[in-house]
């Protein structure tokens, strides 16, 4: 409970109420009885009075700081024999620092205070009471002076009003003078005299008012100074009165001393500030510092014991005292802090930590520290991706730009603009045949080309993207045949990207299938027109109307229904409708007005690429503009080289190829990725520079992705437990098959079993592949690729499994079966029977034996059981023994009695039931 009156507060302080009332009156709080209310301000006033009465400083003031310093110097003096001796001179100094407001009062008081007895305390209490009365009288005087000041202010306001009235009268007089300009001269003269008299009176009044205002301002300043002095005296702590100290004899001055004279005491310093001027107390509010004294000494009288100029701030210098002290410079020479420099940092796709730190002009450790704050543990040579590097740059206060300043690929844009003014000539349309697997795409092309390509493909399905050009009576057409199997999605997307027109082949007896929908999506994404060929119309189950309705549902509307896509019924077997299909294709090409420059450096697209053992890297290229000639320097992605040989689709050597012509070229440094853009360069040096730049960029991006994948896999493994890996090395004949097979196999990965592609490349299986398989314990898969003799021998010696495939179905199915075998089997329970315990027999050596009756099914020795008591599972375990009469039996069927014991469990009762079951392991599949 809070003490709200004098009696409660006295009880809380454990003192009589009369004594408390006396103390309150001494403190200036007028309370007459113990029931008077006490506020917090009254209590604070009492506390402040008691503190002052006992000589304590008001709360919040700084205490004294006393520093003692000892200086030791050496002087050399000759003795009686003439030899010089070194004499140690020690000077001890004691210095007390106090607030500047206290310095003036402390000048006349010595350091030590005498012992205070009781009489002295009573005298001081009386003095304090007299001082309180004096303060009360001074406060009354102060209030009177403030009242006088208020009166002066009021008089000043009245004078100001009078001055204002005079000004208004003057203005009115001027206006009336203008209105009455036609009055007589006599009246005008009289009025002017009156105006002059009024002006003179107004000026006299204004002068008197300004004099009174100045007097009032001087009085106000005097009162304010007096108030400030009174407040300073009230706030000043009460100190003990000290006896005056006898003055030191002047004879003991600097004359004849062996050390330098002592400095003035802090109290002897002049204080020009007013008592009321108080500022925040920092180092500036403390009297002189050691450094200031050293500076004063350096320019003053040199004494024998004084330190040498610049010697460590007044303290004795050591053996190396003549050396320049850097700490002195840091303390004395203050440098203005400089503004932080914000840099523009251009961040490429990948950058190492060291390079990033160099660009920001900071130490690499600062960048590593910032990355650790962001949760990434990195080393100085680690490669960062562009996004991470830009985040770090922004965090460190700089401006990040996603750019590459020294990108040699900028030369390609400038080079391409030089040939934009070449003459544009009509070119043949590039037509891609797309559709679901086994819908007859390749057979349709066979009939058009009068060749047998489909019979040459393994399994009767297309697994490569083929490029052919066909001469028709109405002109030339270039065909791209894409695979229809789901694994070849990337190939189909590439075919749609390079094409002008898409022929969508749909079987009349099968309708729209998943890959048909995907082909429609690729064509729409590429923005190319569709020509629908409904194949197999010669079959008995053909239903064209159903196919049309299904295509309309996929937003492919025939022209006869008001759409844009022509529908042509064809038969690749009989040739029906083939001419009408070609007519529609050429009609669409005329509408598109396809043109390309011929007399210009060639540009094109890599349709397919492979590694031939005799010829090296071979790329199938579709020339889209310009003319490609033998001997040209070409750049395809990171691969570059001079065209050594050029073949058409029939394997014949040709010297040049114009727009829309597919060719095979040799002479590249490596197998390019399918889908890369091909262009002819002016010289080989520029092609090599750009190719090497792209290789480094690809390698850095790959490393950055691998680093991120490792971290992600680590966290996944921590969360999910151990994941089984199936390591593989994949070698294929062409680039497109490699990406299709790798993509299909990686789709088989689950949370328990994962396909790990250690290495995938184009070409035959070599010894290095086998050595890699030995090190990584991987299986080698050859898709239309074979191992040479040395690789086979090494594989047999090391037990490496090499599997050959030429149909993608077989490869995917076998890997799927192998991964299914790696899955942990699924455990299933199979209920066998239900047993009721009718009697319990306790045998000392055996334990509890249950006499049971088989209610349902059977009981088998070694089976698992659950003990049920009131239909609640009490225990789960195994049977230990099973007997029928005295014989051990393997099983007991329903309707028979038996005796059994449970393994390591004896807490059985009559009426309990045993549920008998077996756990079977079932193989899982993906």
- Which residues contribute to the annotated binding site for GTP? 435-442, 481-485, 535-538
> What is the distance, to the nearest Å, from the Cα of residue 39 to the centroid of all Cα atoms in its chain?
56
Distance CA 645, CA 652 (A): 10
Distance CA 304, CA 300 (A): 13
Question: Which two structure tokens, joined as six digits, stand for 465?
Answer: 């993207």
Distance CA 798, CA 730 (A): 18
| Pairing mode of beta strands 603-612, 677-681 | antiparallel
| Residue 550 φ/ψ, nearest 5 degrees | -65, -35
Buried/exposed code over 530-560 (b: 16+ C-beta within 10 A; e: otherwise): bbbbbbbbeeeebeeeebbebbeeeebebee
Length of the chain: 926
Distance CA 195, CA 174 (A): 9
Buried/exposed code over 405-414 (b: 16+ C-beta within 10 A; e: otherwise): eeeeeeebee
> Residue 444 burial (CB < 10 Å; 0-12/13-18/19+)?
buried
Whether 843 contacts 849, CB under 8 Å:
yes
Measured from the Cβ of residue 178, the count of other Cβ atoms closer than 10 Å reads 7
> Residue 636 burial (CB < 10 Å; 0-12/13-18/19+)?
buried
> What is the distance, to the nearest Å, from the Cα of residue 499 to the centroid of all Cα atoms in its chain?
42
User: What DSSP character marks residue 726?
Assistant: E
What's the Rg (C-alpha) of the chain? 54
Q: Binding site residues, as ranges?
A: 435-442, 481-485, 535-538
| Pairing mode of beta strands 826-843, 724-732 | unpaired
In angstroms, what CA-CA distances link 556 with 17, 486, 517, 527? 105, 21, 10, 13
User: What DSSP character marks residue 510?
Assistant: T
> Residue 588 burial (CB < 10 Å; 0-12/13-18/19+)?
buried
Distance CA 6, CA 17 (A): 7
Kindly tell me the sign of the dihedral angle through the C-alpha atoms of 607, 611, 615, 616: positive
In angstroms, what CA-CA distances link 2 with 7, 8, 12, 21, 49? 12, 8, 9, 18, 22
Question: Which two structure tokens, joined as six digits, stand for 541?
Answer: 């189950």
Whether 62 contacts 281, CB under 8 Å:
yes
Distance CA 217, CA 132 (A): 30
| Pairing mode of beta strands 466-472, 475-481 | antiparallel
- CA-CA-CA-CA dihedral for 858, 862, 866, 868, to nearest 10: 60
Distance CA 615, CA 668 (A): 10
User: What DSSP character marks residue 238?
Assistant: P
User: What DSSP character marks residue 763?
Assistant: S
In angstroms, what CA-CA distances link 553 with 11, 50, 409, 506, 558? 96, 98, 45, 14, 12
User: What DSSP character marks residue 722?
Assistant: -
> Residue 720 burial (CB < 10 Å; 0-12/13-18/19+)?
exposed
Taking the chain, what is the end-to-end CA distance rounded to the nearest angstrom?
77
Whether 795 contacts 782, CB under 8 Å:
no
Distance CA 595, CA 648 (A): 22
């Amino acid at each position: 409970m809070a003490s709200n009156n004098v009696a409660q507060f006295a009880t809380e302080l454990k003192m009589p109420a009369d004594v408390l009332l006396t103390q309150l009156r001494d403190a200036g709080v007028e309370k007459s009885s113990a029931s008077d209310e006490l506020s917090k301000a009254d209590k604070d006033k009492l506390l402040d009075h008691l503190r002052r009465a006992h000589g304590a400083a008001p709360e919040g003031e700084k205490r004294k700081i006393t520093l003692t310093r000892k200086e030791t110097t050496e002087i050399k003096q000759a003795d009686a024999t003439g030899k010089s001796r070194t004499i140690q001179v020690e000077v001890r100094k004691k210095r007390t620092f106090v607030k500047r407001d206290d310095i003036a009062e402390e000048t006349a008081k010595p350091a030590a205070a005498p012992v205070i007895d009781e009489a002295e305390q009573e005298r001081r209490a009386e003095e304090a009471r007299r001082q309180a009365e004096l303060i009360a009288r001074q406060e009354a005087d102060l209030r009177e002076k403030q009242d006088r000041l208020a009166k002066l202010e009021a008089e000043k306001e009245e004078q100001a009003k009078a001055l204002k009235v005079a000004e208004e009268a003057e203005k009115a007089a001027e206006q009336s003078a203008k209105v009455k300009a036609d009055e007589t001269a006599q009246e005008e003269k009289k009025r002017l005299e009156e105006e002059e008299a009024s002006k003179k009176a107004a000026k006299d009044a204004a002068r008197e008012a300004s004099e009174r205002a100045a007097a009032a301002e001087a009085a106000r300043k005097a009162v304010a100074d007096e108030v400030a002095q009174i407040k300073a005296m009230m706030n000043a702590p009460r100190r003990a009165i000290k006896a005056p100290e006898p003055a030191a004899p002047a004879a003991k001055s600097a004359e004849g001393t062996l050390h330098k004279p002592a400095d003035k005491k802090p109290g002897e310093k002049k204080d020009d500030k007013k008592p009321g001027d108080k500022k925040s107390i920092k180092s500036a509010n403390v009297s002189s510092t050691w450094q200031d004294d050293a500076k004063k000494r350096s320019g003053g009288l040199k004494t024998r014991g004084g330190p040498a100029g610049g010697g460590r701030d007044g303290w004795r210098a050591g053996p190396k005292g003549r050396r320049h002290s850097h700490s002195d410079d840091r303390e004395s020479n203050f440098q203005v802090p400089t503004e932080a420099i914000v840099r523009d940092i251009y961040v490429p796709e990948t950058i190492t930590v060291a390079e990033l730190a160099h660009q920001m002009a900071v130490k690499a450790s600062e960048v590593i520290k910032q990355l650790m704050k962001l949760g990434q543990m990195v080393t100085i040579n680690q490669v960062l991706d562009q996004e991470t590097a830009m985040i770090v740059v922004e965090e460190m206060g700089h401006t990040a730009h996603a750019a590459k300043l020294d990108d040699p690929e900028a030369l390609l844009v400038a080079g391409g603009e030089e040939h934009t003014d070449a003459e544009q000539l009509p070119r043949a349309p590039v037509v891609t045949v797309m559709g679901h697997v086994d819908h007859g795409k390749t057979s349709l092309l066979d009939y058009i080309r009068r060749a047998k390509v489909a019979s040459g493909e393994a399994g009767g399905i297309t697994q490569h993207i083929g490029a052919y050009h066909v001469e028709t009576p109405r002109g030339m057409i270039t065909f791209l045949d894409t695979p229809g199997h789901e694994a070849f999605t990337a190939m189909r997307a590439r075919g749609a990207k390079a094409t002008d027109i898409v022929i969508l082949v749909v079987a009349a007896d099968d309708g729209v299938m998943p890959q048909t929908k995907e082909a429609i999506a690729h064509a729409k994404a590429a923005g190319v027109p569709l020509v629908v060929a409904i194949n197999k119309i010669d079959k008995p189950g053909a239903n064209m109307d159903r196919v049309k309705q299904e295509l309309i549902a996929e937003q492919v509307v025939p022209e006869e229904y008001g759409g844009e896509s022509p529908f042509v019924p064809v038969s690749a077997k009989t040739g029906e409708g083939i001419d009408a299909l070609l007519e529609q294709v050429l009609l669409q090409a005329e509408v598109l007005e396809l043109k390309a420059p011929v007399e210009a450096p060639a540009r094109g697209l890599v349709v397919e690429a492979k590694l031939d053992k005799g010829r090296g890297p071979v790329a199938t290229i579709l020339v889209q503009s310009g003319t490609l000639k033998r001997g040209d320097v070409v750049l395809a992605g990171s691969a570059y080289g001079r065209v050594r040989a050029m073949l058409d689709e029939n394997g014949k050597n040709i010297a040049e190829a114009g727009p829309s012509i597919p060719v095979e070229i040799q002479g590249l440094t490596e197998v390019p990725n399918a889908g890369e853009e091909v262009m002819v360069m002016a010289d080989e040096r520029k092609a090599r520079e750009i190719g090497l730049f792209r290789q480094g960029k690809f390698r850095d991006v790959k490393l950055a992705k691998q680093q991120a994948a490792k971290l992600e896999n680590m966290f996944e493994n921590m969360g999910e437990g151990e994941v089984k890996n199936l390591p593989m090395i994949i070698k294929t004949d062409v680039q497109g098959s490699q990406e299709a097979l790798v993509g299909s196999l990686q789709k088989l990965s689950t949370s328990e079993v994962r396909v790990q592609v250690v290495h995938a490349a184009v070409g035959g299986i070599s010894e290095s592949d086998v050595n890699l398989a030995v090190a990584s314990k991987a299986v080698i898969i050859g898709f239309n690729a074979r191992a040479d003799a040395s690789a086979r021998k090494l594989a047999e010696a090391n037990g490496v499994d090499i599997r050959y495939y030429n149909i993608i179905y077989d490869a995917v199915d076998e890997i799927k079966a192998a991964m299914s075998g790696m899955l942990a089997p699924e455990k299933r329970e199979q209920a066998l029977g239900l047993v009721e315990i009718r009697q319990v027999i306790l045998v000392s050596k055996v334990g509890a034996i249950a006499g049971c009756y088989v209610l349902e099914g059977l009981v088998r020795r070694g089976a698992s059981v659950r003990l049920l008591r009131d239909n609640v599972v009490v225990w789960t375990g195994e049977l230990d023994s099973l007997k029928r009469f005295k014989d051990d039996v393997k099983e007991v069927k329903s309707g028979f009695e038996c005796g059994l014991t449970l393994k390591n469990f004896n807490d059985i009762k009559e009426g309990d039931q045993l549920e008998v079951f077996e756990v079977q392991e079932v193989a899982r599949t993906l």
